[in-house]
Copies of this chain bind each other. A is one copy, B any other.
Amino acid sequence: MNLPTRNTQIQLRRQRDGIPALDDFQTVDAAIPDVAEGAFLVRAIYLSLDPYIRKAMRGDHPGHAKLAPGEVIYGRSVCRVVRSRHADFKPGDYLVAETGWQTFASLTPKKVVQRIDPALGPLSTAIGVLGMPGLTAWGSVAHVAPPQVGQTFVVSAAAGPVGGTAGQLAKLAGARVVGIAGGKEKCDVALRTYGFDACVDYKKAGWEDEMRAACTAGIDVYHDNVGAPLLNALVKHFNLYARVVLCGRPADYHQPGFEGVSLGPIIGKRAQVKGMVVYDYEHDMPRYQRTASTLMREGKLRFKEDHTQGLENTPAHFLKLMRGENIGKAIVAVGPEKG
């Protein structure tokens, strides 16, 4: 093997309230870690950028301590085992694992999120449509609030990996699907790539009228990816007994004094608002991956990824995600798929 001899890391340079800035991060050249007995060395291929990382950095996410300056930023990667002192992990094995933002990591099994079967789809999809974002959509549409045939299913952050997959699964289940996204480019992805019936650009003046026109039969299921302000704006379009799946709220992440949900309209609509956490559906990952992989091969489930190349570009790509400018799953291509 012709591996690099050094490990590139992106570390925290300083904590900050609110949206981070580029100089809160520092790129450091470190030694490739030793591999203790029972551990194995992995090389990152695709680094996953996700909204929860912002919360994890400041210790505001389950299982993540607040980062101190000089510590490697949290993150999961599609990675490959390159050296091993653990019988269950062989060089060449593909994994999704908690590597952090670095090119190499020495791991123990508890840092492994899942093994990857490369036959299921492109490797990068293991952190996208075939990974946690896809499973989140599956948890919502298959478990928490399955839409009925002919119902109107609305999903926010529609161009993203969770929203895009949820909408396509809802459409496969017979629903009419209306996306909500910020900007024309994202709406085009929802319409052309994902095949939604409509997509409303909430940044456009008059979007509420468009929303009404897109949901003349009322909203039956709303998959919420963005938080309370949009939910409060949509309730008036709900049908009685509408169901809401709450599965993330990046819009709330930077707002200590955020807007909460108004209960009166929820009562009036007899709405059911259900919190969900993707980890509750990990047991169903094999079934989801088989299903989604087949749908992908048949061209019935499509995905969009926003790649950047090179670990050193990770902070900028992450800030793009924080600003909501990514179109599709945000990924950093860190290293080669083989070799």
Check: A274 CB closer than 8 A to any chain B CB.
Answer: yes
A260: B residues at CB distance < 8 A: 228, 232, 259-263
Q: In the complex, which of the residues B62, B252, B273 contacts A273, with contact meaning CB atoms closer than 8 Å?
A: B273
Q: Tell me whether B272 and A277 are in contact (CB under 8 A).
A: no
Contact with B along A309-323 (1 / 0, CB 8 A): 000000000000000
Nearest-CB residue, chain B, relative to A60: B264
Nearest-CB residue, chain B, relative to A267: B275
- Tell me, in angstroms, the Cα distance from A262 to B270 when the chains sit together: 19
Check: A131 CB closer than 8 A to any chain B CB.
Answer: no
Q: Tell me whether A270 and B276 are in contact (CB under 8 A).
A: yes
Q: Which of A245-260 contact B (CB under 8 A)?
A: 246-249, 252, 258-260
- Tell me, in angstroms, the Cα distance from A263 to B260 when the chains sit together: 7
Check: A164 CB closer than 8 A to any chain B CB.
Answer: no
A269: B residues at CB distance < 8 A: 275
Copy count, this protein chain: 2
Q: In the complex, which of the residues B252, B258, B263, B274 contacts A270, with contact meaning CB atoms closer than 8 Å?
A: B274
Q: Tell me whether A277 and B267 are in contact (CB under 8 A).
A: yes
A247: B residues at CB distance < 8 A: 267
Contact with B along A220-264 (1 / 0, CB 8 A): 000000011001100000000000001111001000001111111
Check: A268 CB closer than 8 A to any chain B CB.
Answer: yes
Contact with B along A268-295 (1 / 0, CB 8 A): 1111111111001000000000000000
Check: A266 CB closer than 8 A to any chain B CB.
Answer: yes
Expressed in whole angstroms, the minimum distance between the Cβ of A193 and any Cβ of chain B is 28
Assuming A260-B228, A262-B258, is B270 touching A280 (CB within 8 A)? yes
A272: B residues at CB distance < 8 A: 272-275
A277: B residues at CB distance < 8 A: 267-268, 270
Nearest-CB residue, chain B, relative to A269: B275
A275: B residues at CB distance < 8 A: 263, 266-272
User: Which of A260, A272, A277 neighbours the largest number of chain B CB atoms within 10 Å of its CB?
Assistant: A260
Nearest-CB residue, chain B, relative to A62: B268
Q: Tell me whether B276 and A252 are in contact (CB under 8 A).
A: no
Q: Which of A205-229 contact B (CB under 8 A)?
A: 227-228
- Tell me, in angstroms, the Cα distance from A263 to B264 when the chains sit together: 15
User: Which of A252, A259, A264, A266 neighbours the largest number of chain B CB atoms within 10 Å of its CB?
Assistant: A264
- Tell me, in angstroms, the Cα distance from A308 to B276 when the chains sit together: 48
Q: Tell me whether A267 and B276 are in contact (CB under 8 A).
A: yes
Of the A-B pairs whose beta carbons lie under 8 Å apart in the complex, a sample of 21, sorted by A's number, is A227-B263, A231-B263, A246-B266, A246-B267, A247-B267, A252-B263, A252-B264, A259-B260, A260-B260, A260-B263, A261-B261, A263-B275, A267-B277, A270-B274, A270-B275, A270-B277, A270-B280, A271-B274, A271-B275, A272-B272, A273-B273
10 closest Cβ pairs, A-B complex: A260-B260, A267-B275, A273-B273, A261-B261, A266-B275, A270-B275, A260-B261, A272-B274, A246-B267, A271-B275
